[in-house]
């Protein structure tokens, strides 16, 4: 059994003082009964807690999908630049959220933000070979030589890259699929052909896809379908 104010503040991120206020205003119910004292104890596996008639759903972990815009750093904090966490609603920030993987400051697209370390490890570890796909636009025509070079494994100064796919979708555009995530990897791979990346947008990580209706800078929680894939 735990105190109700502690339970609510852990789940929703309100301070104990704020929970007290909610209770005072008769906005909290347990099993349909209005709570009058914020130090009553509840068993979250049995009791149903409601705030303004909305049930508090207990979540062990949070999983968010963000469409990262340019200009944001993939970190939890930075001294001078905005981070991807600056795009997340305050109500999630009492959790120890972090971005699962990095995108360059000028890269856009799918970023998963979570507090589930095991999930992040599984989706990021090169040993798990999880595919990450990126739409790319470069400043030169994409050639078959590039496609073959990516397939055979580009040699960078920090070692040879694993085989990757480059699908040509236009004169200057393609989709690159990697199973590892080295620093500036795609930019450096195209750099080997004297080409510069102009736009880079991540569209998938494993079975998770950037939703078409998620605007740049917007985030949302995983859907039920996506949550099922977390445990797969």
Q: Which residues are catalytic?
A: 104
* Contact by Cβ (8 Å): 104, 202: no
* Contact by Cβ (8 Å): 19, 8: yes
If one asks whether residue 18 binds ligand URA (CB under 6 A), the answer comes out as no
Taking the C-alpha atoms of residue 28 and residue 34, their distance in angstroms, rounded to an integer, is 6
Using CB under 6 A as the criterion, what x/- string covers residues 77-116 for binding ligand URA? --------------------------xx--x---------
At closest approach, how far in Å is the CB of 132 from ligand URA? 8
Q: Which stretch binds ligand URA (CB under 6 A): 53-61, 85-93, 117-125, 181-189?
A: 181-189
**CA 121-86-176 angle, 5° bins:** 50
If one asks whether residue 185 binds ligand URA (CB under 6 A), the answer comes out as yes
C-alpha radius of gyration, the chain, whole number: 22
* Contact by Cβ (8 Å): 211, 202: no
Taking the C-alpha atoms of residue 141 and residue 130, their distance in angstroms, rounded to an integer, is 28
If one asks whether residue 210 binds ligand URA (CB under 6 A), the answer comes out as no
CA separation (Å) from 95 to 4, 90, 179, 190, 221? 18, 10, 29, 38, 14
Considering only 112, 166, 186, 195, the residue that binds ligand URA (CB under 6 A) is 186
At closest approach, how far in Å is the CB of 184 from ligand URA? 4
Identify which of residues 67 and 107 has a Cβ nearer to ligand URA in the complex.
107
Identify which of residues 4 and 200 has a Cβ nearer to ligand URA in the complex.
200
Q: Which stretch binds ligand URA (CB under 6 A): 10-18, 120-128, 165-173, 184-192?
A: 184-192
Q: Is the dihedral of CA 160, 166, 171, 173 positive or negative?
A: negative
Considering only 3, 16, 70, 187, the residue that binds ligand URA (CB under 6 A) is 187
Positions that interact with ligand URA (CB under 6 A): 103-104, 107, 184-187, 200
């Amino acid at each position: 059994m735990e105190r109700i104010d502690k339970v609510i503040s852990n789940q929703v991120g309100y301070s104990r003082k704020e929970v007290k206020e909610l209770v005072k205003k008769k906005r909290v119910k347990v099993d349909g009964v209005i709570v009058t004292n914020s130090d009553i104890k509840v068993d979250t596996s049995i009791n149903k807690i409601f705030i303004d008639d909305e049930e508090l759903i207990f979540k062990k972990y949070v999983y968010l999908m963000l469409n990262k815009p340019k200009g944001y750093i993939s970190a939890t904090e930075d001294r001078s630049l905005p981070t991807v966490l600056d795009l997340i609603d305050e109500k999630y920030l009492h959790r120890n959220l972090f971005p699962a993987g990095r995108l360059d400051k000028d890269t856009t697209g799918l970023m998963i933000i979570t507090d589930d370390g095991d999930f992040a490890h599984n989706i990021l570890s090169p040993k798990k070979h999880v595919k990450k796909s990126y739409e790319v636009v470069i400043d030169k025509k994409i050639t078959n030589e590039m496609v073959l070079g990516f397939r055979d494994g580009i040699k960078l100064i920090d070692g040879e890259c694993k085989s990757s796919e480059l699908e040509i979708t236009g004169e200057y555009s393609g989709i690159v699929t990697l199973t590892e995530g080295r620093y500036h990897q795609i930019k450096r791979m195209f750099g080997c052909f004297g080409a510069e990346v102009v736009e880079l947008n991540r569209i998938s990580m494993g079975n998770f896809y950037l939703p078409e209706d998620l605007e740049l800078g917007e985030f949302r929680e995983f859907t039920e379908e996506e949550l099922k894939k977390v445990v797969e």
